[in-house]
Chain A
Amino acid sequence: MIDTKQIRKDFPIFKNHPSLTYLDSAATSLKPKSVISKITEYYEHYSANIHRGIYHLSEKASEEYEGTRSVVASYINAPSQSEIIFTRNATEGINLIASTIGVTNVSEGDEIVTTVMEHHANFVPWQQLAFDVGADFKVIDIDENGSLPLKVSGHNSKSKTLVEISDIISKKTKILAIGLVSNTLGTINPVKAIIAAAKKINPQILSVVDAAQAVPHMKIDVQDLGCDFLVFSSHKMLGPTGVGVLWGRHEILKQMPPYQYGGDMIRSVALSDTTFADSPHRFEAGTPNIAGVIGLKEAIAYLENVGLESIRKHEHALTKYAMEKLTETFKECITIFGPADPDKRAGLVSFQIKGVHPHDIAQILDEHDIAVRAGHHCTMPLHTRLDVAATTRVSFYIYNDAQDIDKLIDGLKIATKTFSKKS
């Protein structure tokens, strides 16, 4: 069991905002003191640039920075730390893949496959790549339950019309880009089974997994998933903003052209030619976010100390409670999007309440110190598919408890009361 009262003591924001109910961790998580202190430690104790510094401050900074790589590798069970590339965020990780191996591997007439529930970060780069090279951009639809209606092993879609993977993936499919957890529906996609089925049809397919909403909340094993690339962001997992991770399979990374050119990514430079460094440095041009990367290591230490299994259980319980309370209180006036079964979803709930616009809900909740997100959550194709302009989303993490949900329900009651028609 997670002791949220104890955990909240580790998050300085609650000292400054004691009555804050923060239900927007899917956008960005709060940060524990240990992460903030680690960032300060870098700036106060060994604030030097990494690599090539022949003095002890630089060596210490390099050691802390590179140390994060091995911590991240073991956190997602990557075979080698040279497969861990630091980016600005998950978005940059996907753009890195699209603009390097995406460009060299996808040609006119090929196919790129993604899903309608993707975050724009895992949608727009592929759509634009398809436009640029003249490839087909294929988008897998969702069923009425907010799940992918695919016939793959171990995936019990209740959809009336199941789709065979072979109807979507062909020998021409070069990229399969798919999110592990939907940031709007909360759906946990059967990514492992989908990739396995896709690779049976076309072993050459490159699978890209957007794990930004998964890595902070559940144990992820890249080898078990069988994917080729996986991206996530530090700031959603208690870490600093400005840092993302791209994991890629070694055999693929070693064939990939560089992403950006400049310092730190070269082996040698001459007037007539440049040879590039190997992965990961080949893909990390320029001075990176050193403090941020070092801070991420501390965030992972915090998460591992709490335990990912406990985190998953905690969020599952909160999601179940929130869904029950919302349905019980607002009955037919509320529409909850995504799977009805909490086992099939991560710790977030998006909904609409009849007669109250999501922005008005968020505004009224803010008046009661409850932070939620309202809008399209960077999933406009999904909102179009659901035929709604905007939704309100609440998302949970280790510092949330049932009381937060009770406060949310009270706040929502005020919102509906405010908008009940006076005559």
Chain B
Amino acid sequence: MSIYADLILDHYQYPRNNTLVKGATSKVDLDNPLCGDKIHMEIREKDGVIQEIGFTGEGCAISIASASMLTEYAKGKTKKELLEISTGDVLGLLNIELTPNRMKCALLSWEGLRKLLI
């Protein structure tokens, strides 16, 4: 079974929230030197709620799709809710089975989100 399901490919080729955020309250840059994935994430938070979230960067299909899906999920949620997201939840969003080497790609945006919130 290929991990490149239609949903993943769709989010990779047409990533959601693939933009900078106006009036961002927090920004972060992350990279995975192993494969050269680079991601920049921004949020605008008000009263503990994520009003806007966006990302830019380059990477493999898994890292981009996961950033797209996670930002889509995060919008409108509270900080508290988002800090409770586990790595398992992210993999659940992607709905694919990953080998250990690809986990880092999938979890790069999750790591970014946590850094933005803490």
A interface residues (Cβ-Cβ under 8 A, vs B): 357-360, 363-364, 367, 374-376, 380, 383, 388-390, 418-419, 421-422
Contact = CB atoms under 8 A, between A and B. Distances in A.
A123 to B, nearest CB: 15
B91 to A, nearest CB: 16
B3 A390 contact: no
Given A359-B105, A419-B9, 10 more contacts: A357-B59, A358-B35, A359-B60, A359-B102, A363-B102, A374-B35, A375-B35, A419-B4, A422-B9, A422-B13
B58 interface: yes
A364 B105 CA distance: 15
Contact of A376 (B2, B4, B36, B62): B36
Indicate the member of B10, B60, B62 with the most A CB atoms within 10 Å. Answer: B60
Contacts of A363: 3-4, 102
Interface in B60-105: 60-62, 102, 105
B1 to A, nearest CB: 8
A380 B33 contact: yes
A6 B5 CA distance: 40
A416 to B, nearest CB: 12
Contacts of B34: 375-376
30 contacts: A357-B35, A357-B59, A357-B60, A357-B61, A358-B35, A358-B60, A359-B35, A359-B60, A359-B102, A359-B105, A360-B61, A363-B3, A363-B4, A364-B2, A375-B35, A375-B36, A376-B33, A376-B36, A380-B33, A383-B36, A388-B36, A389-B35, A389-B37, A389-B38, A390-B36, A418-B2, A419-B9, A419-B12, A421-B13, A422-B13
B85 to A, nearest CB: 24
A357 B62 CA distance: 10
Contacts of A376: 33-34, 36
Interface string B22-50: 00000000000111111000000000000
Indicate the member of B10, B36, B37, B58 with the most A CB atoms within 10 Å. Answer: B36
A360 B13 contact: no
* Those 5 A-B pairs whose CB atoms lie nearest each other, nearest first: A389-B36, A357-B60, A359-B60, A390-B36, A360-B61
A364 B37 CA distance: 18
A272 to B, nearest CB: 49
B9 A418 contact: yes
Contact of A360 (B10, B33, B38, B60): B60
A390 B35 contact: yes
A35 to B, nearest CB: 27
A119 to B, nearest CB: 16
A65 B85 CA distance: 56
A422 B5 CA distance: 13
B74 to A, nearest CB: 24
B108 to A, nearest CB: 12
Nearest to A374: B35
A388 B9 CA distance: 23
Contacts of B102: 359, 363
Contacts of A358: 35, 60
Contacts of A375: 34-36
B36 A360 contact: no
Contacts of B9: 418-419, 422
A146 to B, nearest CB: 19
Contact of A364 (B4, B12, B36, B38): B4
Contacts of A357: 35, 59-61
Contacts of A422: 9-10, 13
A367 B102 CA distance: 14
Contact of A389 (B10, B13, B58): B58
A357 B4 CA distance: 13
